[in-house]
Amino acid sequence: MTQTTRRPTRQRRAVAEALATSPEFHSAQQLHAHLQREGTKIGLATVYRALQAMSDDGDVDVVRTDDGESLYRSCSTGHHHHLVCRGCGRAVEIEGPAVERWATRVSDEHGFVDVEHTVEIFGTCQDCAD
Amino acid sequence: MTQTTRRPTRQRRAVAEALATSPEFHSAQQLHAHLQREGTKIGLATVYRALQAMSDDGDVDVVRTDDGESLYRSCSTGHHHHLVCRGCGRAVEIEGPAVERWATRVSDEHGFVDVEHTVEIFGTCQDCAD
DNA sequence: CACTACTTCGATAATGGTTGTCAATCCAGC
DNA sequence: GCTGGATTGACAACCATTATCGAAGTAGTG
Ligand SMILES: [Zn+2]
Ligand SMILES: [Zn+2]
Ligand SMILES: [Zn+2]
Ligand SMILES: [Zn+2]
């Protein structure tokens, strides 16, 4: 929110690259383990901080699993939602203008302001269905 | 899921009643504190277990806040979603046939099976907007 | 190159909602 | 009353996330 100076450090770059190389959702802990394995020296707290910052800037998508874990994925620009596979974590970005209109209409009807919405679809993809 | 024998005990009834008397969402801990205050002797774990069971049976709605807390509310029958006020917790049950159709269509298009979706709208209600 | 005023890092401790443990207790049904 | 499974509750364990805080990096200035 507050436009603080944000320095592009080695660690932040590493997190961004790790996300960019994979189209799936990953948890902060997965990313940390992966980076450590690749030889990148980075602390867990720093991974969380980097992801938090990227999320604030709108550079990553975040979804929350049923057991309360946050998953991060490099983000395309613009507002959209996800169809996520419970098995492999593969995600399909989806858009639904109708849903957007519906959300704003419902909110207006009930006099709600400053409205946000979450729409996530979880399922099992073809590959994981075997 | 597995149709285990489920006994209607004093504690379970207390939780169900506490939920039934209020149309808003409450956390497990809030419910526990409330019951204790009312003189009902019940353990926190039991409250969680009761809510879990009711959730499995589809008798309560569950939403997760941004900070990972689960909120429970007595449920109307049938599939629906919520428009929740961030300030007072008041919830409006909403239905959106169009959204349901859209969700299944998108899932089918991408070959996903065993699909669930979450649609929640958060905002500020008129009373809390002042 | 010093000196300074930041930001950032990372090991570790703390947080906090939730779940597991397990002996004590309840409750049908015999 | 007996018995076996269901249920309870005090407490510990879990675990993702966050806070702490001293150390280390990084401009910018002269
Ligand atoms: Zn899959
Ligand atoms: Zn949307
Ligand atoms: Zn309100
Ligand atoms: Zn729906």
The per-residue pLDDT for range A84-97, each reduced to its tens digit, is 888 777 888 888 88
B83 with B63, same domain: the answer is: no
The alpha-carbon gap from B55 to the nearest alpha carbon of chain A, in Å, equals 13
B17 with B67, same domain: the answer is: yes
Higher pLDDT, B17 or B78: B17
CATH code of the domain in which A58 resides: 1.10.10.10
Select from B106, B105, B120, B104 the least CA-distant residue to A106: B120
**Strand B113-124, strand B81-85: pairing:** parallel
A82 with A128, same domain: the answer is: yes
A58 with A96, same domain: the answer is: no
**Residues of chain A found within 8 Å of residue B68, distances taken between Cβ atoms:** 64, 68
B111 touches chain A (CB under 8 A): yes
The alpha-carbon gap from A43 to the nearest alpha carbon of chain B, in Å, equals 23
Does residue B13 reach within 7 angstroms of strand D, measured from its CB?
Answer: no
What pLDDT tens digit does each residue of chain A (130 aa) get?
A: 444 577 889 999 999 999 999 888 999 999 999 999 999 999 999 999 999 999 998 889 899 888 889 999 987 777 888 898 887 778 888 888 889 999 999 999 999 999 989 898 989 999 988 7
B18 with B63, same domain: the answer is: yes
A93 with A40, same domain: the answer is: no
pLDDT at A93: 87
Specify whether the CB–CB gap between A71 and A89 falls below 8 A.
Answer: yes
CATH code of the domain in which B103 resides: 3.30.1490.190
Per-residue pLDDT tens digits for B55-104: 988 889 899 888 889 999 987 777 888 898 887 778 888 888 889 999 99
Does residue A3 belong to any structural domain of this protein?
no
Cβ distance of B119 and A122 shorter than 8 Å: no
B85 with B64, same domain: the answer is: no
A108 with A130, same domain: the answer is: yes
A18 with A66, same domain: the answer is: yes
B89 with B62, same domain: the answer is: no
**Nearest residue of chain A to residue B63 (CA atoms):** A66
A15 with A55, same domain: the answer is: yes
Q: What is the dihedral of CA B68, B74, B77, B80, to 10 degrees?
A: -40
- Kindly state the DSSP code that residue A60 receives in the 8-state scheme: E
Tokens read off for B126: 């008129």
Specify whether the CB–CB gap between B57 and B12 falls below 8 A.
Answer: no
Does residue B103 reach within 7 angstroms of strand C, measured from its CB?
Answer: no
Cβ distance of B110 and A125 shorter than 8 Å: yes
**Residues of chain B found within 8 Å of residue A129, distances taken between Cβ atoms:** 113-114
Does residue B2 belong to any structural domain of this protein?
no
Does residue A106 belong to any structural domain of this protein?
yes
Does residue B3 belong to any structural domain of this protein?
no
A128 touches chain B (CB under 8 A): no
Question: pTM of the full predicted structure?
Answer: 0.80
CA angle A30, A51, B124 (to 5 degrees): 120
A86 with A61, same domain: the answer is: no
Q: Considering A75, A90, A121, which residue would you say is the last residue of a domain?
A: A75
Does residue B64 belong to any structural domain of this protein?
yes
Does residue B17 belong to any structural domain of this protein?
yes
Q: Which domain holds residue A110?
A: 78-130
Per-residue pLDDT tens digits for B24-65: 899 999 999 999 999 999 999 999 999 999 998 888 989 988
Cβ distance of A112 and B94 shorter than 8 Å: no
Overall domain count for chain B? 2
